Amino acid sequence: MNAGAERHILILGGTTEARRLAEELAADPALRVTSSLAGRVAAPRLPAGEVRIGGFGGPEGLAHWLREQQVAALIDATHPFAGTISFNAARAAAAVGVPLLAVRRPGWVAGPGDDWRDVASLADAARALPAMGERVFLTTGRMGLGAFAHLEDKWFLVRSVDAPEPPAPPRMEVLLDRGPFTLDGERELLRRHAIDVLVTKDSGAAATAAKLTAAREAGVPVVVVRRPPVPEGVPEVPGPAEAAAWLRETPGGR
């Protein structure tokens, strides 16, 4: 890259943190910012700067794109459960020699009065449900509903941004909505639908945390699917402000 030219920053996005980071970086005329979205949401909230939608074709495809587009730094700000892309990013960045940073929002931590059951997967969550409740508030998104499809005696309230596709539980009501959610709204959902168990992923962040407070107040147990493993050796920060600071201090990143 020629001296004085724009530095190209690729953000693997789709999260609130990624949008905020893109907005901050795109305001800098010395930077060219591209955000990559997986394309799993029909009408995503588009960030500032350039946007590309769709996969790269594995780590080799991502490495090729980094070289071709002369990317100076790569920031993985994907969802905590988008585990495959994080490993692909680590392999691609190492192959090309591009600095890589992961923005990983802190996970949720149970507090006094919380009744949480930690599980490692959606399948484990489904196995835990028979002994826990009859009316389930399922907030794990539209992907993976097949893990609960065999639970014919349970009733599910499924909340997702886009409509889910089969396989899915036979007794199910779908609520299409996008956070942030209010505490009063979550309280009303639990009350109106007589929810007696909540299933969620440990996505962290405040935008969807109100359901946990509402569940604690109502005495509703929560099945929490813990996060998948992440690549070792990748530097991490908790949010966009720290990511912008890292970029300023990274050789070639800014």
Say whether both 40 and 91 belong to one domain. yes
Clarify whether residues 174 and 243 are in a common domain.
no
227: three-class secondary structure by DSSP: coil
Q: In which band, very low, low, confident or very high, does the pLDDT at 5 lie, cut at 50, 70 and 90?
A: low
Residue 111 covered by a domain? no
pLDDT of 71 above 60: yes
Residues 40, 70 share a domain? yes
Task: Pull the structure tokens for residue 222.
Answer: 């929560």
173 and 102 co-located in one domain: no
CATH number of 202's domain: 3.40.50.720
| pLDDT per position as a tens digit, 122-178 | 999 999 999 999 999 999 988 889 999 999 999 999 999 999 989 999 999 999 998
- Are 172 and 217 in a shared domain? yes
- Both 191 and 203 in one domain: the answer is yes
pLDDT-derived band at 189 (thresholds 50, 70, 90) equals very high
**What average pLDDT does range 7-29 have in this prediction?**
96
Could you tell me the pTM of the whole model?
Answer: 0.90
Query: Are residue 174 and residue 200 in the same domain, yes or no?
Result: yes
Phi-psi region of 111 (alpha: psi -120 to 50; beta: other; left: phi over 0): beta
* 159 domain-assigned: yes
Q: What is the mean pLDDT of residues 15-31?
A: 95
Same domain, residue pair 26 and 98: yes
Which domain covers residue 154, as residue numbers? 116-225
Would residue 2 count as lying in a domain?
no
Confirm whether 1 is domain-assigned. Answer: no
63 and 34 in one domain?
yes
- 158 and 196 fall within a common domain: yes
Task: Report the pLDDT averaged over residues 89-107.
Answer: 97
Q: Domain for residue 238, yes or no?
A: yes
Mean pLDDT taken over the chain? 93
* Judgement on whether residues 203 and 125 belong to the same structural domain of the protein: yes
27 and 87 housed in the same domain: yes
CB 87 within 8 A of CB 21: no
Is the residue at 38 inside a domain? yes
Task: Give me the number of domains the chain comprises.
Answer: 2
pLDDT band for 45, please (50, 70, 90 cuts).
Answer: confident
Q: State the DSSP string of 155-215.
A: EEEEEESS---SS--SSEEEEE--S---HHHHHHHHHHTT--EEEEE---SSTTTHHHHHH
| 179 within a domain of the structure (yes/no) | yes
Query: Residue 254 domain-assigned?
Result: no
Q: What is the mean pLDDT of residues 36-43?
A: 79
